[in-house]
Structure 1
């Protein structure tokens, strides 16, 4: 067991891609417990790790997000959100957060959100007098709303692996996503006068809201179609994802006419690359997860936590500390796949609802997308804007603090965490 852990750490340290790290250490684990005779299990486990119909939702949601990005909806959404909140001090920063919240219902991915709004809003904010690090920090902070408000690829992975209702997880993600939106806007409002943040509009106008809403109504229907179909039970998450792709193609090619057949082909290739990376991680991690189960590591970790305390409150706090730390140093997809069976056993033993446990785990890892040193959204903004990571990180801390606060509220206030599923699924 120790040799496998050491191999994992060494391979991570030398920079081997995480999918290969998981695969190599998983095979070492098989060799450790059964020698070469167990090697025949590796291909079987590799295939079975992906042999879940619900995983098909992921590439469809990714492709739908790609098409909607290309179709030019970002500018329409920014115009709409600016009409809503642009009259406030720090208006364009507020618009950034609100746009991320709306965007979340279309893409389900933080990196897509960060890239789209980073290209559009960061230059606009800088031209209005915002510092580039602060503009980048606002974009990064809002981007994690993407995988929190459904559709969410992380929720698809967790629900598929753990046999938890994906519709329930989607419903549970709405409240924390909106809370993060409000919390980030509160940070912007509190810093507005200190940083002399400008207004992007001189006054509030219902007519401007109506005009911008009319221009955005078609893309705004997409999350309604996705969530409405899933939460009413008309379609499964996978079917809803396929419908989202069809809707995005119709909007992009025939309504806005900004997407060509060649663009769709390029986006399919990019989607295949992204999906291939994620599926490689999932498949390789399934080998390692099987070895961990064979060695009863989940039970050992649960026993270790219980040796510290049997109080559910303390156990939850320890889980949050573990997840926030892991999210800082490990790819969140890999972290979810490795830790889900471990923490699923632990949270069940303290009586947590599986949906509540799932949203706690997913939200914790989402925060890892914005925390250094390996936060994916941080690197996206660095590459787009040329800003240094450490400068963005300094401006990001107030947002990290309030988002972690939201995480703790959702973790320890069960009724609030389960409000979405109880209202939408009962």
Structure 2
């Protein structure tokens, strides 16, 4: 009955479009009032202590770094470099857009931020080149999902904390899966462009243009190297890496590129603060929600139900993926990671999955929710840029849903893609 009240009230508030953080907190409060075993003090303590975490400090700093790089003209430089390699081929603009999103994802750690930074430039540019606006917007929305698959990824930080796993290992584990999904999107962009007759540029490849583009983008390209090299070189922790990234992003954007004025910093700090506060509220209330789950032994009950359906590990993993796909339709990725990691993680371990591999599978599955309504955050960001309605954009995103799903199946079936460098 406690589980019914907890989840029932949460989904009711969600259906009433109550913000996800508030819905989680209200569901926990109602459950605490109903249950004589759970005190409101226990709930409030969980709300506060869950955000008192050093690794968690990485999130606001990565968000701030993404804001700075997004406003610092990074996307244009990255696109110019990608366009040197693929611009002359069929669908070159579309493929370069995906590559740009992959690079920016390795800077921002956020799906919507990737769509906003890359889409603001690329969607109008692709339309000007003759691409269909629905295809261009859906492509960028799908590529934005890479923002939480490639490191640094905010959901990876949350999963690492929730499952007590190495955030650095998760970052490394996300590299090949992120590249694989990027390749799948590039292949589909090429196939669709060939069908629609979208030609590449007439410009031939030249080393002069390549070196010029690399020179323009070199400071941006160093960000992933600094983050991962610093972590795995033992120079700093993921949280310290986030702080270093902020300082580096400021130096590059203000001093080297001169794309940001000191007067712009107020707006950048404001946007980063609002995004950070929203995520931290979700983290706090989701952790309190998770404490109730653990107290009532709901994760064990879920595990017993799943394991009673089949003793085949593949079937259980398939059920977990289907469940996460459904969850991604309605629940924010950060909240979903915090709520469902304690429920699904024990099951994954019980069927013999590596915890890092399971974390990547979980995050990739939830990333698909960025382009699936009714939540579909990337669709809303893309809609704001292109002016297309959400229903129109959702229909245009259907092929990309299957492209991402194909990538997910490969990642889930081949653990070596995640674990190769660990």
CA contact (8 A) 1:90 1:200 kept: no
Once the two structures are superposed, what CA deviation does each residue of 1:111-140 show, in whole Å capped at 9, x if it has no partner? 111011111011111111111000101111
CA contact (8 A) 2:58 2:243 kept: yes
Name whichever of 384-393 and 114-123 sits farther off.
Answer: 384-393
Residues in 1 aligned to 2:12 and 2:360: alpha-carbon distance in whole angstroms: 31
TM-score normalised over the length of structure 1: 0.96
1:225-236 aligned within 5 A: 225-236=226-237
Aligned match of 2:76:
75
CA contact (8 A) 1:328 1:371 kept: yes
Aligned match of 2:225:
224
Aligned match of 2:190:
189
Aligned match of 2:268:
267
CA contact (8 A) 2:79 2:96 kept: yes
Q: Aligned-pair distance for 1:216?
A: 0.8
Q: Aligned-pair distance for 1:179?
A: 0.3
Residues in 2 aligned to 1:8 and 1:65: alpha-carbon distance in whole angstroms: 31
Residues in 2 aligned to 1:16 and 1:211: alpha-carbon distance in whole angstroms: 49
Residues in 1 aligned to 2:139 and 2:204: alpha-carbon distance in whole angstroms: 23
Residues in 1 aligned to 2:146 and 2:202: alpha-carbon distance in whole angstroms: 25
Q: Aligned-pair distance for 1:288?
A: 1.2
Residues in 2 aligned to 1:14 and 1:162: alpha-carbon distance in whole angstroms: 31
Aligned match of 1:401:
402
Aligned match of 1:258:
259
Residues in 2 aligned to 1:327 and 1:100: alpha-carbon distance in whole angstroms: 21
Verify: 1:63 aligned to 2:49, yes or no: no
Aligned match of 2:18:
16
CA contact (8 A) 2:62 2:108 kept: yes
Q: Aligned-pair distance for 1:201?
A: 4.1
Residues in 1 aligned to 2:242 and 2:90: alpha-carbon distance in whole angstroms: 38
Aligned match of 1:312:
313
Residues in 2 aligned to 1:242 and 1:279: alpha-carbon distance in whole angstroms: 17
Verify: 1:25 aligned to 2:3, yes or no: no
Q: Aligned-pair distance for 1:148?
A: 0.7
Residues in 1 aligned to 2:8 and 2:253: alpha-carbon distance in whole angstroms: 49
The alignment partner of 1:420 has SS state of coil
CA contact (8 A) 2:163 2:345 kept: yes
The alignment partner of 2:39 has SS state of helix
Aligned match of 2:286:
285
Residues in 2 aligned to 1:9 and 1:243: alpha-carbon distance in whole angstroms: 39
- From the superposition, tell whether residues 4 and 146 of structure 1 become closer, same or farther in structure 2 (CA, over 3 Å): closer
The alignment partner of 2:156 has SS state of helix
Q: Aligned-pair distance for 1:143?
A: 0.8
Residues in 2 aligned to 1:11 and 1:243: alpha-carbon distance in whole angstroms: 39
Residues in 2 aligned to 1:395 and 1:8: alpha-carbon distance in whole angstroms: 31
The alignment partner of 1:315 has SS state of helix
Verify: 1:170 aligned to 2:171, yes or no: yes
CA contact (8 A) 1:313 1:412 kept: no
Count of aligned pairs:
420
Residues in 2 aligned to 1:398 and 1:14: alpha-carbon distance in whole angstroms: 30
Once the two structures are superposed, what CA deviation does each residue of 1:83-142 show, in whole Å capped at 9, x if it has no partner? 111011111100100001111111111111101111101111111111100010111111
Residues in 2 aligned to 1:127 and 1:159: alpha-carbon distance in whole angstroms: 42
CA contact (8 A) 1:252 1:258 kept: yes
Residues in 2 aligned to 1:238 and 1:4: alpha-carbon distance in whole angstroms: 33
Q: Aligned-pair distance for 1:72?
A: 1.1
Aligned match of 1:424:
none
Aligned match of 2:302:
301
Ranges in structure 1 where 5+ consecutive residues have no aligned partner? 422-426
1:320-335 aligned within 5 A: 320-335=321-336
Runs of 4+ in 1 over 6 A off after TM superposition: none
- From the superposition, tell whether residues 210 and 51 of structure 1 become closer, same or farther in structure 2 (CA, over 3 Å): same
Aligned match of 2:127:
126
1:47-58 aligned within 5 A: 47-58=48-59
Aligned match of 1:4:
6
The alignment partner of 1:193 has SS state of helix
Residues in 2 aligned to 1:398 and 1:57: alpha-carbon distance in whole angstroms: 34
Once the two structures are superposed, what CA deviation does each residue of 1:320-372 show, in whole Å capped at 9, x if it has no partner? 00001110121111111110100111111112111111111111111111122
The alignment partner of 2:147 has SS state of coil
Ranges in structure 2 where 5+ consecutive residues have no aligned partner? none
Residues in 2 aligned to 1:10 and 1:392: alpha-carbon distance in whole angstroms: 27
Q: Aligned-pair distance for 1:205?
A: 2.5
Residues in 1 aligned to 2:200 and 2:94: alpha-carbon distance in whole angstroms: 9
The alignment partner of 1:34 has SS state of coil
